Structure 1
Amino acid sequence: MLPALIGLTTAAASAAGYQSMAPTGQWFGRTFTGLGRGRKQIALTYDDGPNDPHTLKLLEVLARHDVRATFFMIGRYVRQRSDIVREVAQAGHVIGNHTFSHPLLIFDSAAQTRKQLLECRAALTDAIGDHSSLFRPPFGGRRPATLKIARQLGLETVMWSVTGYDWNAPSAVEIEKRIVRQVRGGDVILLHDGGHRAMGADRSQTVIATDNLIRRYKDQGYEFVTVTEMVGAGRARASAPTRASRG
């Protein structure tokens, strides 16, 4: 009996550990990961900015294609380059909270997590005033307390359904291939315009991949939307009366 109990406990701990980092896992509370398969919409998201010059180069690509994206920014970088943050906002993109210093929140206390979110919120407010209520945990790491604090602060926790694994700077071709293998429609795509260790990370390949991806999926009839728009569409669909309820 004891070995069986130990095995079950180990399996449960492993599953819980996986769910704390799995982008689409919902064990610890609801997070937004997209609209589900089959919707001809894509939300491009970028983490770890602002980052000179690559955030600005992304703005050029997005403007060329008339696409709006969502940027999850690190508060300490916002304090350093509020000018870039303002350019992102003025271009019509959505800006979300990515904590102040990018810790792995599964190891932070509730007080530390709250401080991270509030300090990033303050940095964004000082830079651009009103901004979105979106929040993405660094590395995707969260636990029940993380999500509870986010809800208490009025934040919508956003994960992703597709990633380009561009954090380690692969080629633009490889980033595109990785994403194409995963897209099913209604996706939130994770990319990076900066690096959490220091400002100045080279994201030139992500910029090139973004241009290629927009061309590819526009040709296939996809619409590019912000996460805010996608969340709104999901809520509208959830609240729409079903055929049975209409009688």
Structure 2
Amino acid sequence: MQTWQTAATIAGASLGTLGLLAGGASYAARWPTSQIFGRTLVDVPDHAAPQHTVALTYDDGPSSRNTEPLLDLLATHNVHATFFLIGNHVRRHPAIARRVAAAGHTIGNHTAMHPDLARKSATRIRAELQHTQQILQDTLGITPRLFRPPYGSRRPAVLRIARSLGLTPVLWNVTAEDWLPLGSEQILRNIDRAMQRNRKRSRTSNVLLHDASHLDGDRPQSRDDTLAVTAALVQRNDLQFATIDRWR
């Protein structure tokens, strides 16, 4: 083989290796069930057969438009959920946040401003988590023990800092995609498809939903589809509901 051909082959192989490494890093940083960068809480063995154990989790709240109707719905069916709250939204809607806590739902830390933590410095990561912990303590009188990274995005430093603050990182294994304009029927199909996979594995289902958007301002986005999907799920006899703190 000519020298230039050999060099080209080596260069191509090196680029291919770099591509695989980059792809693996992206998978580890974003894929919700990946444990490559460190352990996160996703699910636990499910011993509830013939029922299936489900944790309904709601990110990005509280919302002045959606959270209280959601709380009413959950209360009607005596279902408790896990709410990962954004610190700045809690500051804007403290009474709604207090109602979430008063209803007995589990509260988690979802950062102060919803940044992509995998792209932030260690100083920013710690500030986001500490600031939100302080807001939740001041507003609700509680210190959360659960943390969900925005977008599920993390790197080893994110998980390490979270644990140093007494926070358990929580991801999910059911992606509803309720932030997209899919309609409630398609969102429910997404959930059912993932729950069926978890049933076959005898693992609980940890469902990612949203009662708000991190972009909410004076005109918060509607989560009517999420409410409709929640209403359908909580009426099913083949499901039993749990909060994430029960799985630690």
- Decide: shared fold, TM above 0.5: yes
The 5 Å alignment of 1:168-183 reads 168-183=180-195
Code of the aligned partner of 2:84: F
Q: Could you tell me whether the CA contact under 8 Å between 1:43 and 1:230 is conserved in 2?
A: no
Give 1:87's match in structure 2, choosing from 89, 96, 99.
99
Matched, 1:27 2:31: no
CA offset digits 1:86-109 (Å, max 9, x no partner): 000010001100000000011100
The 5 Å alignment of 1:1-247 reads 1-36=10-45, 40-183=52-195, 184-185=198-199, 186-199=204-217, 200-216=220-236, 219-220=237-238, 222-231=239-248
Give the share of equivalent positions with the same residue, in percent.
42
Code of the aligned partner of 2:186: E
Counterpart of 1:240?
Answer: none
Q: 1:14: how far off? A: 1.1
SS of 1:166 mapped into structure 2: coil
Structure 2 unaligned regions, length at least 5 = 1-9
Q: 1:36: how far off? A: 4.5
Code of the aligned partner of 1:195: S
Q: 1:38: how far off? A: 6.6
Find the aligned partners of 1:194 and 1:36 in 2 and give their Cα distance.
30
Find the aligned partners of 1:122 and 1:132 in 2 and give their Cα distance.
10
Find the aligned partners of 1:74 and 1:166 in 2 and give their Cα distance.
18
Q: Over aligned residues, Cα RMSD in angstroms?
A: 1.3
Code of the aligned partner of 1:143: R
Q: Could you tell me whether the CA contact under 8 Å between 2:176 and 2:208 is conserved in 1?
A: yes
Find the aligned partners of 1:169 and 1:152 in 2 and give their Cα distance.
38
Q: 1:37: how far off? A: 6.2
Which contiguous aligned blocks of 4+ residues in structure 1 show a shift greater than 6 angstroms? none
Structure 1 unaligned regions, length at least 5 = 232-247
SS of 1:66 mapped into structure 2: coil
Moved more, 31-40 or 89-98: 31-40
Q: 1:2: how far off? A: 3.0
Q: 1:170: how far off? A: 2.5
CA offset digits 1:161-214 (Å, max 9, x no partner): 001100124311121111001102401100000001124111111011101012
- The change in CA–CA distance for 1:154 and 1:227 in structure 2 (over 3 A counts) is same
SS of 1:95 mapped into structure 2: strand
Find the aligned partners of 2:244 and 2:144 in 1 and give their Cα distance.
10
Alignment length (residue pairs)? 228
